Structure 1
């Protein structure tokens, strides 16, 4: 099996699992600010680093089609004449608080060892290093969403939990760009893609093309590092 296909569900399991585990902390941040974070909660790690260009925003949000009315009305973001999205000072404070809450929630969640041989937090330094290599390599192969969201913003005192969650969040957009390119190359709209049965020949061909387009980022790791990355992720709760 192609490595990109093999690692994809592990990345998704770990990331969605830790975001769910951190939800009580992020909910507390939202309540303290009294604001709906909208797209900030999904893209904070990129928005804190730079404005989000129109093309990058359209790509990153293509599967959710967000209504940005609230973001503008609440004063957490603005859009300039080119269509790029910027955080306001309020939006930036909210994004920083959410990033920190997610990092803290991750460390609390990943510290739990269901069996003694699980690495727990000991996995994070190496995972952060490997993710850093992957994100740097993705600059050459990533599409508009990945380019908008990487490199990620990390404060000077960033914890390992914050680093890993932010970098993992950005990495997922390399595959998302690959997937969009694959179904667009097949001449499909998103609606048509979603109507395809998962077992259909056309859907399987699109997934194979997605793996092919996603694969270059993992070439930044040698074979031993690729299996190490997969093993460290796989050993984390999710």
Structure 2
């Protein structure tokens, strides 16, 4: 099994479970501003750093849909004639608040020790460093969604938990780009991909190709560092 295939479910478990268990914290941000969540909730770490090009937007929203009616109506985003999306002043304020909420929840959640041998927050700074190096390496291997997300925005004095949360969110787009490239090269549409049985030969071929395209980013780390990243993420609650 490739390293990319091995670590993918670990990254997804840590990041997705954190977002799911912290959704009340994020919703509280939107309740405070009396607006509904929009694309800034998912892409804040990239949007706070730079505008999102039309190509990056199309790639990043390929799986979730690209209806931006709410964002425009609520005044959190604007788009120019080239299809480039930017946060408004309100959107930036909301995105910063979402990032803080995610970072605060991560620090609380990862600090819990269900058993004494769990590392807690002691490994988070090191994990953030390792993932940061992957984001640097991904500039040479990532696609349009990844380039829209990385480098990530990190405020002055950001905690290790906030840094790791934002960096993991961006790293997941390296694999998403690889996956889109794999099924597109196979001549499939997204609807056709979703119709394939999970255990079908063609679906397995697409996953193998995704792993092949995703693998190079991890070669930035030594074998010992890859083991450290896998073990450290695996030890975080979630």
The 3-state SS of whatever aligns with 2:65 is coil
> What is the alpha-carbon distance in structure 2 between the residues aligned to residue 21 and residue 157 of structure 1?
25
Q: Which residue of 2 aligns with 1:200?
A: 200
CA contact (8 A) 2:128 2:160 kept: yes
| 1:27-38 alignment, distance < 5 Å | 27-38=27-38
Q: Which residue of 1 aligns with 2:110?
A: 110
**Cα distance per residue 1:71-93 (max 9 Å; x no partner):** 00111000011101000000000
> What is the alpha-carbon distance in structure 2 between the residues aligned to residue 52 and residue 157 of structure 1?
25
The 3-state SS of whatever aligns with 2:140 is coil
The 3-state SS of whatever aligns with 1:155 is coil
Whether 1:187 and 2:176 are equivalent positions in the alignment is no
Q: Which residue of 2 aligns with 1:92?
A: 92
| Structure 1: gaps (5+ residues) | none
Q: Which residue of 2 aligns with 1:65?
A: 65
Whether 1:160 and 2:171 are equivalent positions in the alignment is no
> What is the alpha-carbon distance in structure 2 between the residues aligned to residue 104 and residue 69 of structure 1?
30
**Cα distance per residue 1:5-42 (max 9 Å; x no partner):** 00000000000111122212111111001111311100
> What is the alpha-carbon distance in structure 1 between the residues aligned to residue 55 and residue 156 of structure 2?
29
Root-mean-square deviation (Å) = 0.6
| 1:219-234 alignment, distance < 5 Å | 219-234=219-234
> What is the alpha-carbon distance in structure 2 between the residues aligned to residue 134 and residue 27 of structure 1?
30
Whether 1:50 and 2:50 are equivalent positions in the alignment is yes
TM-score (norm 1): 0.99
**Cα distance per residue 1:68-119 (max 9 Å; x no partner):** 0110011100001110100000000000000000000011111111111111
**Cα distance per residue 1:154-213 (max 9 Å; x no partner):** 001211111000000000000000000000000000000000001110000000000000
> What is the alpha-carbon distance in structure 2 between the residues aligned to residue 201 and residue 232 of structure 1?
33
The 3-state SS of whatever aligns with 2:141 is coil
Deviates more, 1:13-22 or 1:172-181: 13-22
Q: Give the CA deviation at 1:66.
A: 3.1
Aligned residues: 238
Q: Find runs of 4+ consecutive structure 1 residues off by over 4 angstroms.
A: none
TM-score (norm 2): 0.99
